[in-house]
Amino acid sequence: MRRSASWQRLIIYGLSGPIIALNLWLLSQVYHSFEHLITVLTVAAILAFLLNYPVRFFERAGITRAQAVIIVLLVSVMLLVFVGLTLVPLVIDQTNQLLLGIPVWLANIQERLGQLDNWARARRLALDLSGFSSRINANIESQLQGLAGQLAGQAVGLALGTLSGLFETVLVIVLAFYMLLYGDRLWQGLVNLLPPQIGLPLAASLRLNFHNFFLTQLLLGLFMFVTLTPTFLVLKVPFALLFALLIGAAELIPFIGATLGIGTVTLLVMFQNWWLAVQVAIAAVFMQQIKDNVLAPRLMGSFTGLNPIWIFIALLMGAEIAGFLGAIVAVPIAGTIKSTIDALRHLKQPTMVSNVTTGQKPPPRDEG
């Protein structure tokens, strides 16, 4: 009996891998077929998740939910318009200047590496940094030229693209409005379709992971952006607003986002001034340590309970399936799955414990 049970487990484990891979492939195909629809619904759901906190605050003050939703959405739209009229033009302008300045930075780096090569040859050291740098520079310049060509080709449809972006923004806000009003009923109806032993822990785990995760990541990203912007301005870092925004936005990717953002910004600044890049790295890492050791434990804790290896795997799978959006939602989805499985296991433990403590044998299995 034990050998047959072990063989059954091996068969189950052996078949689970291909089944999971097939399901992931089907999921990626479904996403690419309905990418626009899924993206709009996901962004609207995340927005509704986040805005639900101030809505509940107004509800506790005695305001009806419909009135609270309208107030919160109006304030959010006003903030969105303010950001769109102030920060967005600056970010776009700095992005254009950065793309135009990268070739000059690459030329300066190549010149310095050539000087280093001359110094190495005078001392009979086998170095070929200038040749390696020229190959990298040629690749980067070709990518930039292709990007510039795409932007020039899309210049004719810029007005239509702007109207499309405005339409999608309005659509997301409208969907978030209805999700705030009727999302609980829809979610409760979906949960009732599942068995209670699965639906209840799934609902609790999903709410905990998504609410805590997105609120925490947003606050941590905002902290990095707010603290690094004046720091970069004091250090006279070029494109200070753009680089601080890049690090803050990278914070939305859990576990490795801030490191990737800081590394990218440091590399871009190093193209122009290596000593300034060192200062940028020190300042950003200092703020990152404050975020990770002071703010993050209080805001997030370890609510996902995931091993770092599984976090990496979830991030890679999410990025492979849905790109940046998949990398953002991968960790809370993985945390939801783990928490639901743990809850289901805890439901089975009391019966087993009671059988052991009372000395009763478990009911015999039906062999028929």
State the sign of the Cα–Cα–Cα–Cα dihedral 226, 232, 236, 242.
negative
DSSP string, 218-261: HHHHHHHHHHHHHHHHHTT-TTHHHHHHHHHHHTTSTTTHHHHH
**Helix 65-122 / helix 35-60 crossing angle, nearest 10 deg:** 120
Output the pLDDT for position 159.
41
Q: How many CA atoms lie within 13 A of 207 on its CB side?
A: 13
Cα 235 to its chain centre, rounded Å, is 28
Output the pLDDT for position 229.
92
Q: What are phi and psi of 193, to 5 degrees?
A: -70, -20
Burial class (CB in 10 A: 0-12, 13-18, 19+), 154: exposed
* Residue 80, both tokens: 């969105």
Q: What is the mean pLDDT of each run of 10 residues along the chain (368 residues)?
A: 63 68 75 80 84 87 88 89 84 82 72 71 64 56 52 41 68 87 80 76 75 78 91 90 90 80 88 87 91 74 63 81 79 79 68 46 46
- C-alpha 83/C-alpha 215 separation (Å) is 19
- C-alpha 63/C-alpha 14 separation (Å) is 56
Instruction: Please list, in sequence order, all residues whose beta carbon lies within 8 angstroms of the beta carbon of residue 267, skipping any fewer than 6 positions away.
Output: 277
Output the pLDDT for position 230.
93
C-alpha pair distances (Å), 243 with each of 133, 276, 302: 24, 13, 29
Output the pLDDT for position 226.
92
Exposure string for 286-310, b = 16+ CB within 10 A, e = fewer = ebbeebeeeebeeebeebbebeeee
Q: What are phi and psi of 27, to 5 degrees?
A: -65, -40
Output the pLDDT for position 157.
40
Instruction: Please list, in sequence order, all residues whose beta carbon lies within 8 angstroms of the beta carbon of residue 176, skipping any fewer than 6 positions away.
Output: 44, 45, 47, 48, 51, 73
Output the pLDDT for position 284.
92
Q: List the one residue out of 350, 333, 330 whose CA is nearest residue 341.
A: 333
Q: List the one residue out of 321, 338, 332 whose CA is nearest residue 21.
A: 321
Output the pLDDT for position 153.
42
Output the pLDDT for position 225.
92
pTM more than 0.75: no
* Residue 159, both tokens: 């007005």
